[in-house]
Structure 1
């Protein structure tokens, strides 16, 4: 079994040492042992897990959700349908975010149109775009 130090694991996994330590606190990436001096040791399996975590983060899963996926993966009773439910829930969240972003985009376009209508020579402190944003906060 190849033993990796925390620094080697971090470098090979493309993260910082503090990230590895944080993942340990969360219980999603634990050392396989320690040296006599107390330094953490990791295995190739740890590196594979770290790469899995990073890949799932790219799919917009939170660390809490990643822990749930890892727990499912290690479970003797969890089914593929349980993992699918997690993915479907993530899609629902993404669709909600998309809806919110479309609303924000439309509001910004409306503000830009108001700004364009006032001309380019208006001073920033009189900009209708900023005035509209300010008035929407009330």
Structure 2
């Protein structure tokens, strides 16, 4: 292979993404299909690596596939104002904060349940709460 091109395994290693995920991103149109060698093997370039790294970082931050798709569209127009990107990030932040609150309530409920057991399973509030 020439410099700047690599197979799907190497692309995955460099971007920190598994091969099945790369194929999935190609299938749903997040990652453009690569060229092929004469033998039919996928051949990726630096643009694929940059785009895949962008997608992985977005997923690591918890952005949905659709939000990443929108961010990729925005990234293709660097001269545009970034209000849409800010709006996407703000909406995602609000969702993360909502989930954190929900997890806090879940933690409190589990903590209360976990520290109340004394006696037999028949008297266990944990088992009772799950069974009801």
Decide: shared fold, TM above 0.5.
yes
Alignment of 1:72-83 (within 5 A): 72-75=74-77, 78-83=80-85
- Which structure: greater helix fraction? 1
Distance 1:4 1:108, change over 3 A: same
Q: Distance in 2 between matches of 1:68 and 1:111?
A: 42
Cα deviation, residue 113, structure 1: 3.7
The residue aligned with 2:44 is 42
Cα deviation, residue 75, structure 1: 3.7
The residue aligned with 2:18 is 16
TM-score in terms of structure 2 length: 0.85
Q: Distance in 2 between matches of 1:75 and 1:26?
A: 21
Query: Which runs of no fewer than 5 residues in structure 1 stay unpaired?
Result: none
Query: Greater shift after overlay, 106-115 or 70-79?
Result: 70-79
Cα RMSD over matched residues?
A: 2.0
Q: Distance in 2 between matches of 1:19 and 1:125?
A: 46
Q: Distance in 1 between matches of 2:80 and 2:40?
A: 35
Cα deviation, residue 22, structure 1: 0.4
Structure 1 runs (4+) greater than 6 angstroms displaced: none
Query: What SS does the aligned partner of 2:30 have?
Result: coil
Distance 1:129 1:84, change over 3 A: same
Q: Distance in 2 between matches of 1:6 and 1:23?
A: 12
The residue aligned with 2:96 is 94
Cα deviation, residue 85, structure 1: 0.4
Distance 1:82 1:45, change over 3 A: same
